[in-house]
Amino acid sequence: MEVDISHKVIPIIKFTLPIIVLIAVILNICIWLYGQYHAYITFYDVRVTGSFLQTKTLTDGTLEKLLVADGQSVTAGQPLAQIHPNITQKDIDNLQQAVDQAQQQYDNMVSLSKQTSTKTISTPQASAPAAVDDSQYQNALAQESKMKQLYDIGAVSRSEYEQAAAAVESAKAILNPSSGSGTPSATTSVVAVPSGVTQEDIQTALTRLNQTKLALEDAQKNTDTTELYASADGTVYYTGVKEGDNLSAGQNILDIATSNYIWLEAKAPEEQAVKLKEGAYAECKVNGKIIGGTVVQIIDPASDEKNYTVKIFIPSDKMNGIKPNMIATAKISIGK
């Protein structure tokens, strides 16, 4: 026997359909409201950074070996890398030649300071020379003798020696001027003239010798491999320099993070920055991991920049595998 249930189904359909529509409308309103009050801005070029000390080379050379792993904890004074300076044997030979030349010049100076030479002097008898003229002549004579011996060993130029000789002739002319009544009678004598090399000259030669010796010693020491050391406790990170790379003096090869945390930095134009708030939640994707962070600071742009800097803090227990200069994506919640 057939039973007619239409009178039961019709009311159900009549009231259920409006209820379903009502529920759908309510859900859409909730989603819209959530979007209004829980929207976010996505930043794609977010960089991992932190507080770092740079480890720089002191001389040109080659990175022979890295002694620590990327992300390894280090202590102050710990060796980080081995550097081989770019000092060639030719450089050593040139410095050795300079030392030999400086040694020879110093020895010649010392030897000359102990020598004297003789000089024949004509002294006019017509009148007694003034004391000042005679003193000037004797000084010029000693200087000429000194310059002659320095010229002979190559320590001064020919023009410098000729100037000293001309000074002697000039002083001699003042001492023995010509007379209109004829040439006055004169007597000649042979006197000993000191070399003219002073203690100051010897000291100058000695200083040059010591300087060239020191340069040679430094170069010889720099042919050996040297090590770079950690300047503080922290975590060391590679900068992209590889073993075998040529280095320039002052080049940074390692960064040391001295704090127990790192952070992300995003650049935001003004129209985005005004929507962000310190303390806002940030969902960050870095190195394949999703990490929750917090906006801790929004920094105004410098005078030559247009973008604001947004600093996102990452908890220290989430740092494993995250290194400086990695690129991340960050979704930062905003309120409308």
The pLDDT tens digits for 35-47 are: 555 588 999 999 9
* pLDDT confidence tier of residue 11, bands split at 50, 70 and 90: low
Decide if pLDDT at 122 tops 70. no
Cα 27 to chain centroid distance, Å, stands at 63
% of the chain residues with pLDDT over 70: 75
pLDDT value, residue 94: 83
**Token pair for residue 33?**
């409201």
Residue 298 pLDDT more than 70? yes
Alpha-helical runs (H) found in the chain: 6-37, 89-113, 131-152, 158-175, 199-221, 270-273
Buried b (16+ CB within 10 A) or exposed e, 307-334: ebbbbbebeeebbeebbbeeebbbebbb
Is residue 134 predicted with pLDDT exceeding 60?
A: yes
Q: Does residue 179 carry a pLDDT above 50?
A: no
- How far apart are the C-alpha atoms of 320 and 326, rounded to whole Å? 13
Flag whether pLDDT at 96 surpasses 60: yes
Residue predicted with more confidence, 92 or 3: 92
Smallest CA-to-CA distance from 256 within 326, 323, 176, 169 is with 323
The mean per-residue pLDDT over the stretch 245-251 comes to 88
In the prediction, which pLDDT does 180 show?
44
| Mean pLDDT, range 241-245, rounded to an integer | 92
Indicate if the pLDDT at residue 258 is higher than 70: yes
Cα(318)–Cα(325) distance, rounded to whole angstroms? 16
What is the mean predicted confidence (pLDDT) over 203-208?
80
